[in-house]
Amino acid sequence: MKGVSQFMSRAAASVVGLAGLVIAGCAAFPDAETTAKNTEQMVTDAHTLGAPALIRRSVQDTSQRACSMIGGSEGSAKLSQEQAASLVKTARDSIQYPASGKLSGDWKTGAQLVTDGRGQRIVNGQVEKLPGNGALCTNCHAMDPTEVNAGDVGPSLVAYGKQRGNSEAVARYTYERIYNAWAFMPCSNMPRLGTNGFLTPEQIAHVVAYLIDAGSPVNRQ
């Protein structure tokens, strides 16, 4: 019985010791705010190559911070009308237009951009040098009706120009939507391609042409 008693005593001591370690571990674990800051710093530290404008994208701007509050670790926070209006204004203020003033470029160049996913890749420890990034619109949208490798995360854009026309107003709306979709829908999943410097104004104009030009495969059927 003595052996059993000693075993029970050691077991109890082990449980108490384990509980102490768990409590100590919990006490040492940083709070949610500190964890978030540490995580962001890790992401920033991991992005040390590339253009300064792209490196800055690893740190959330004011608009992204507001959008991150929705349905995230902060709970079920919702944007107020004032916040939404502020996000829209900030988005609209960010939009820049091509130096040429033309909001619709060459649809054939646009065709290359919408299927091109290259841009700022790290190859052999160096940032890949390219004349420009790809838009890779087909990752989320169906565009050319004959394209079988198209995503469905976003709405289908097949016959976009055929349905809407190719007026100056349509070109402007399409351009601005691509440049910064948050000007129309705050916190949209649509990347802010122009505002974040991923596409140039001229490149966006080419994508616009691919969507609205009557000769584009998007509008042939």
* 3-class SS letters over the chain: CHHHHHHHHHHHHHHHHHHHHHHHHHHHCCCHHHHHHHHHHHHHHHCCCCCHHHHHHHCCCHHHHHHHCECCCCCECCCCHHHHHHHHHHHHHHCCCCCCCCCCCCHHHHHHHHHCCCCCCEECCEECCCCCCCCCHHHCCCCCCCCCCCCCCCCCCCCHHHHHCCCHHHHHHHHHHHHCHHHCCCCCCCCCCCCCCCCCHHHHHHHHHHHHCCCCHHHCC
CB burial of 182-205 (b: ≥16 within 10 Å; e: otherwise) equals bbeebbbebbbbbbbebbebebbb
Q: Where are the domains of the chain?
A: 61-219
Q: What's the average model confidence in pLDDT over 191-220? A: 95
**CATH superfamily of the domain spanning 61-219:** Cytochrome c-like domain (1.10.760.10)
Q: In the structure, what pLDDT confidence band is assigned to residue 1 with cuts at 50, 70 and 90? A: low
pTM of the model: 0.74
pLDDT, the chain, mean: 82
Q: What's the average model confidence in pLDDT over 176-194? A: 95
Tokens, residue 86? 């502020």
Convert the pLDDT of each residue in 33-76 to its tens digit: 788 778 777 766 666 655 666 666 677 889 998 898 886 544 45
Pick the more confident residue, 121 or 192.
Answer: 192
Task: State the Rg of the chain over Cα.
Answer: 26
Pick the more confident residue, 12 or 141.
Answer: 141
Q: What's the average model confidence in pLDDT over 68-93? A: 81
